[in-house]
Amino acid sequence: MATTKLLLADLVSGVNHVPSSYIRPISDRPNLHDVQLSDGSIPLIDLQGLYGPNHSDIIKEIGQACRNDGFFQVYIYIYIYVCFMFIIPLISHLLTYNITFGSERMKNYSDDPAKSVRLSTSFNVKTEKVSNWRDFLRLHCYPLEEYVNEWPSDPPSFRKDVAEYCTSARGLVLRLLEAISESLGLERSYIDKALNKHGQHMALNYYPPCPQPELTYGLPGHTDPNLITVLLQDDVPGLQVLRNGKWVAVNPIPNTFVVNIGDQIQVLSNDRYKSVIHRAVVNRNKERISIPTFYCPSPDAMIGPAEELIDKDHPAIYRTFSYSEYYQKFWNRGLATETCFDMFKASAT
Ligand code: OGA
Ligand code: NI
């Protein structure tokens, strides 16, 4: 098969310059010296008390974080064992083994974003002009029984362990969705019901070391097209968030997840909550692994601003659309623009 150089992992060993197809124009480079450290500016919320006497304080904290920051970090004890003792080493093994040698790798390689299991590289190689310094495996994971048998079976524990992680991550998301609905003054189950049958995808992002990290991105600035994203990352920095026009590094804090509001919560909340632009930069000497869980409506769900959040002073900012329409537009534009909201504004119809 003539597929040996499809992945970045195949290309990078021994390379000491970034190949020209990965080099950004000067006006669109990361300016790494101009990035701030988050230093506590991204809220850290302890969810352990969510169902105790501090319930309303935590709901308030979550509401504030969604309104002002779009990003927050959560600490939740129950998930720690599963996530950190277990998943990161497993995924590292999977990526280094499978991306590099695995028997199944080329069986899973695909550039078609509609595939429910796919190994690929960059963002969308069919539409983008400049490549990104990333390989990834993307899996659909809800409902689990529909997808788990399509996942890689190498290493043998992969399906069982990742399924367990997906179930835990979904449990965390469902709690967050109740809290977010409540913080908007909506019924607790409002967002849950708006998603129709729900969907969940997961990416295993692998960012190899890069000889010239100042010339390229792991992922350029974008907002997430889904509802909400819960990110598990290893201990290597790379995630950055745009805040008041400045890039802020969200460096890993042990035992926490990074949560960010996606485009669909911005739409449902009629712009009260923000889907914030973020990016991943790469490192000269270290590889980085990140594992986002993208929680989403099912493709047929119709999404629009909640009736309760529309009034004379807050007219509907978006039209109603199916999630599949939004998702297709997101992938087709190749991250050429940072968000796709403009195509879904009520005023654009
Ligand atoms: C993404 C993303 C950030 C990261 O996959 O959408 O924003 O740190 N990832 O890998
Ligand atoms: Ni993202």
| Beta pairing, strands 288-296 & 135-142 | unpaired
Domain annotation for the chain: domains and CATH numbers: 30-348 (2.60.120.330)
Convert the pLDDT of each residue in 51-65 to its tens digit.
899 999 999 999 999
153-168 burial code (b ≥16 CB/10 A, e <16): eeeeebbebbbebbeb
Mean pLDDT of the chain: 89
pLDDT for the residue numbered 124: 87
State yes or no: pLDDT of 95 exceeds 80. Answer: no
- The rounded Å distance from CA 72 to ligand 1 centre is 14
Instruction: For ligand 1, pick from 134, 259, 278, 295 the residue to mutate: most ligand atoms within 8 Å of CB.
Output: 278
Residue with tokens 């490549």: 131
CA nearest ligand 1 atom 9, residue: 280
Spell out the residues 6+ positions from residue 265 whose beta carbon is closer than 8 angstroms to its own. Answer: 66, 180, 191, 227, 228, 273, 275
- The rounded Å distance from CA 232 to ligand 1 centre is 10
Spell out the residues 6+ positions from residue 227 whose beta carbon is closer than 8 angstroms to its own. Answer: 177, 191, 195, 262, 264, 265, 295, 296, 297
Convert the pLDDT of each residue in 260-295 to its tens digit.
999 999 999 999 999 999 999 999 999 999 999 999
Q: For 56-81, what is the mean pLDDT?
A: 89
- The rounded Å distance from CA 219 to ligand 2 centre is 8
pLDDT for the residue numbered 3: 45
Nearest to 205 by CA among 169, 234, 248: 234
Which residues on adjacent β-strands are paired with residue 257?
74
pLDDT for the residue numbered 108: 84
Convert the pLDDT of each residue in 244-266 to its tens digit.
899 999 989 888 899 999 999 99
- The rounded Å distance from CA 217 to ligand 2 centre is 13
- The rounded Å distance from CA 278 to ligand 2 centre is 6
Q: Which atom of ligand 1 is nearest to the CA of 205?
A: 10
- The rounded Å distance from CA 218 to ligand 1 centre is 8
pLDDT for the residue numbered 348: 65
Write the CA distances from 277 to 62, 131, 239, 247, 340, integer angstroms.
19, 19, 11, 10, 12
| Beta pairing, strands 219-222 & 278-280 | antiparallel
Residue with tokens 């939740």: 76
Q: Which atom of ligand 1 is nearest to the CA of 279?
A: 7
State yes or no: pLDDT of 196 exceeds 90. Answer: yes
State yes or no: pLDDT of 88 exceeds 70. Answer: no
pLDDT for the residue numbered 337: 72
To the nearest whole percent, how much of the chain has pLDDT over 70?
Answer: 89
Q: Which atom of ligand 1 is nearest to the CA of 134?
A: 10
pLDDT for the residue numbered 15: 86
pLDDT for the residue numbered 78: 65
Q: For 127-153, what is the mean pLDDT?
A: 93
pLDDT for the residue numbered 103: 60
**pLDDT higher for 306 or 157?**
306
Backbone φ and ψ for 279, nearest 5 degrees, come out as -155, 165
Contact status, residue 141 vs residue 200, Cβ threshold 8 Å: yes
To the nearest whole percent, how much of the chain has pLDDT over 90?
Answer: 65
pLDDT for the residue numbered 134: 95
Question: Which residues are near ligand 1 (CB < 6 Å)?
Answer: 203, 205, 219, 224, 233, 238-239, 278, 280, 290, 292
Rounded to an integer, what distance in angstroms lies between the CA atom of residue 76 and that of residue 65? Answer: 17
Residue with tokens 């008041």: 244
- Which of 59-68, 73-82, 162-171 is least confident? 73-82
pLDDT for the residue numbered 94: 66
State yes or no: pLDDT of 215 exceeds 70. Answer: yes
> Which-ligand-closest: CA of 223?
2
Instruction: For ligand 1, pick from 231, 263, 279 the residue to mutate: most ligand atoms within 8 Å of CB.
Output: 231
- The rounded Å distance from CA 47 to ligand 1 centre is 23
pLDDT for the residue numbered 84: 65
Rounded to an integer, what distance in angstroms lies between the CA atom of residue 248 and that of residue 34? Answer: 9
CA nearest ligand 1 atom 5, residue: 292
- Which of 73-87, 109-123, 192-206, 238-252 is least confident? 73-87
Top mean pLDDT of 34-43, 91-100, 152-161, 204-213 is at: 204-213
**pLDDT class for 131, splitting at 50, 70, 90?**
very high
pTM, two decimals, is 0.93
CA nearest ligand 1 atom 7, residue: 279
Positive/negative CA dihedral, 62, 141, 207, 255:
positive
User: Got the DSSP string for 272-331?
Assistant: SS----EEE---SS--EEEEEEEEE--TT-EE---GGG-BTTB---B--EEHHHHHHHHH
pLDDT for the residue numbered 340: 83
Which residues on adjacent β-strands are paired with residue 230?
259, 293
